[in-house]
């Protein structure tokens, strides 16, 4: 049997389960997940390898209507991933009515001149009424002329094995792009920063999360005793800083506890996590702020 390998971009509006799907397929957490939209802010690879194929999933930021430069960057990241892929998985939420964002994504897809094959994935089928799924699938299929349509649940695993089998068969023949034991292109310290941000999104009020960025200042190995991480949580306003810290530091403690447990689960060792809260005003709308957090590359730029 010939070996197959290729890139599969996972796209959709915010909070439809893109990162959850990739984490489920890999069998471990590499991407931050939260109920908040726009948890994923940049493309991240999830590399699945078995005896038959290597599927390089590209977890993309949720396509949305941007209101700042960071949002523009996220949309551009997602669209570039779609155009460079061998296959696009377009996720929709099977448990909810179609949204204006879903329709806007369909319009964006129609605008692309050289789009690879697109498969429509109705996720969260475990939360949808079975009697409504067929109607939802028919309605979703009218948005854009996709090659195939699947119904899955990234939480329970419903339909995932069948989806993987179809992806394997669709990818081109060729050698692997990455070592068989590699599961992502990001360093552990970068994933740790995402997991701190995920913890902040989980615990904070609605008006705060999207102003938050996390930067790991130090990541020091301590041999068999684990690792020490010093990370800074950045917000745009002084009032936000007080909310993140909380009364007598209680909120920051909650965020730290949740993040530490997630990082330990990801890394498989003891983690000593130290958090600080800092201010960088209007960072989402300035080239300097986006460059500081790595959203603008020094060479070529975005």
Q: What is the pLDDT of residues 44-87, one digit of tens each?
A: 889 999 999 999 998 887 665 655 677 777 777 777 778 889 99
Tell me the mean pLDDT in the region 196-214.
81
Determine the CATH number of domain 4-170.
3.40.50.300
The pLDDT assigned to 64 comes to: 53
Determine the CATH number of domain 188-292.
3.30.300.20
Q: Supply the mean pLDDT for the chain.
A: 86
Q: What is the pTM of this model?
A: 0.74
Which part of the chain has CATH 3.30.300.20? Answer: 188-292
Which part of the chain has CATH 3.40.50.300? Answer: 4-170
CA 187 from centre of chain: 15
The pLDDT assigned to 185 comes to: 81
> Is pLDDT of 39 > 70?
no
How would you classify the pairing of strands 44-49 and 53-59? antiparallel
Tell me the mean pLDDT in the region 183-209.
83
Comparing 73 with 162, the larger pLDDT belongs to 162
The pLDDT assigned to 275 comes to: 97
The pLDDT assigned to 186 comes to: 79
Of the chain, the percentage scoring pLDDT greater than 90 comes to 47
The pLDDT assigned to 163 comes to: 97
Tell me the mean pLDDT in the region 118-139.
89
Residues 6+ apart with CB under 8 A from 15: 35, 36, 37, 39, 62, 93
């Amino acid at each position: 049997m010939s070996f197959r390998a290729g890139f599969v971009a996972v796209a959709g509006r915010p909070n439809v389960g893109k990162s959850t799907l990739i984490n489920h397929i890999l069998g471990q957490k590499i991407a931050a997940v939260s109920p908040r939209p726009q948890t994923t802010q940049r493309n991240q690879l999830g590399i699945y390898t078995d005896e038959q194929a290597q599927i390089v999933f590209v977890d993309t930021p949720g396509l949305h209507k941007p209101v700042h430069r960071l949002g523009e960057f996220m949309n551009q990241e997602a669209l570039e991933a779609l155009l460079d892929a061998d296959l696009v998985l377009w996720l929709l939420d099977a448990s909810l009515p179609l949204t204006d964002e879903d329709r806007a994504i369909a319009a964006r897809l129609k605008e692309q001149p050289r789009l690879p094959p697109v498969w429509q994935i109705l996720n969260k089928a475990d939360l949808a009424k079975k009697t409504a799924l067929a109607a939802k699938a028919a309605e979703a299929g009218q948005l854009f002329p996709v090659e195939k349509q699947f119904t899955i649940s990234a939480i329970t695993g419903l339909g995932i094995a069948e989806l993987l089998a179809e992806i394997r068969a669709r990818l081109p023949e060729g050698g692997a792009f990455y070592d068989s034991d590699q599961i992502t292109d990001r360093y552990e310290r970068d994933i740790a920063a995402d997991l701190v941000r995920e913890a902040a999104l989980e615990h904070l009020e609605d008006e705060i999360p999207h102003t938050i960025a996390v930067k790991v200042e130090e990541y020091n190995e301590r041999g068999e005793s684990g690792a020490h991480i010093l990370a800074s949580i950045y917000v745009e306003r002084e009032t936000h800083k007080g909310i993140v810290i909380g009364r007598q530091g209680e909120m920051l403690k909650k965020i730290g506890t949740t993040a530490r447990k997630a990082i330990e689960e990801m890394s498989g060792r003891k983690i000593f996590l130290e958090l600080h809260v800092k201010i960088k005003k209007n960072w989402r709308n300035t080239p300097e702020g986006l460059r500081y957090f790595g959203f603008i590359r020094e060479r070529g730029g975005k």
